[in-house]
Amino acid sequence: MADKIRNLEIRGARNVAISAVKAIENAATHTKAKTAEAFAEELLQAKEVLYAARPTEPLMRNAIKWVIGSVESSQKDEVKALVRLISSSACEFLTNLERSRDRIAEVGSKRINNGTVVFTHCHSSTVTHLLTKASKGMKTFRVICTETRPLFQGRVTAREMLELGVETTLIIDSATRCCIKQADLVIVGADALTAEGNVVNKIGTAAIALLAQEARVPFYVVSELLKFDPATLCGHYESIEERGRFEIWRGAPENLVIHNPAFEVVRRDFIHGIICEEGIIPPHSVYETVVRKYPWVLM
Ligand code: RUB
């Protein structure tokens, strides 16, 4: 599973977290450990392997923390009982994640009316869930999506929108400035929420936020609050994944320096609101909202 995450066979923060939870559950179910200590050690190893698969994935880390935490805080010492605990906390986590996504779609789809033009970037399953909800609510709107170089995740969004019957326009990333004026709002996903209320998302998102501000188009981020990275509270920067040069140019001259960051930070000043399971909140109140709703994330 870690290989699939690393190779982007599984991508998008939510899908990565769901797969990691399933991988932990699978590892637990197939354990050969005879003692609770050996079982805990196996879980720790699985956690390390998954953490290393992609660095900018706090939802995955929080998910694993929740699932493994059930064993860490348990008094049980029979391995079978601990395996059952992993399965039930994994199931609980995935159910709650699904609920959060539905709530985000319910809240966010109200911002879409007949005739609205939505601008989006990359492929976020949370964004497309929201747009699906709006479309099934019989709203007729239009979507503009960027192709999202170098790996073209925007094509996935475009296909999904067409399958829904939504009029969709695909643009190259560098056409954003000339096209964003047509949009009524921008909605993008998130990979990480930081203590300062900044958002980390696919490379290109910060430029879109700047251009949205210039064109006076409201810029919204949809995100489960569990994408909050508690390490940012302690002064750490969210680490930004650097991907291989071959994604940009296979066969490039060897002495050419190629820089390929997968994500970037969008400063909170550019964000109108974070659409999360607690409603639409200003970016600077993300920390308080996480403390209230998910205190365990900070422990
Ligand atoms: C995907 C990306 C998405 C977020 C949110 O990047 O940046 O916007 O992960 O997705 P990559 P979701 O393709 O490199 O993983 O809403 O599905 O969590």
Q: In this predicted model, what pLDDT tens digit does every residue of 163-192 receive, in sequence order?
A: 999 999 999 999 999 999 999 999 999 999
Predicted confidence at residue 145, as pLDDT, reads: 98
Predicted confidence at residue 216, as pLDDT, reads: 98
Stretch 146-175: mean pLDDT: 98
- Report the mean per-residue pLDDT for the chain: 97
Q: Is the CB of 14 under 6 A from ligand 1?
A: yes
Structural contact between residues 211 and 269, judged by C-beta atoms closer than 8 angstroms: no
Q: Is 122 known to be catalytic?
A: yes
Stretch 90-96: mean pLDDT: 98
Stretch 189-198: mean pLDDT: 98
Q: Is the CB of 108 under 6 A from ligand 1?
A: no
pTM for the whole structure = 0.96
Q: In this predicted model, what pLDDT tens digit does every residue of 32-88 receive, in sequence order?
A: 999 999 999 999 999 999 999 999 999 999 999 999 999 999 999 899 999 999 999
Predicted confidence at residue 189, as pLDDT, reads: 98
Separation CA 223–CA 102 (nearest Å):
11
Q: Which of 153, 156, 265 to mutate to test the pocket of ligand 1 (most atoms within 8 A of CB)?
A: 153
Q: Is the CB of 205 under 6 A from ligand 1?
A: no
Separation CA 2–CA 143 (nearest Å):
33
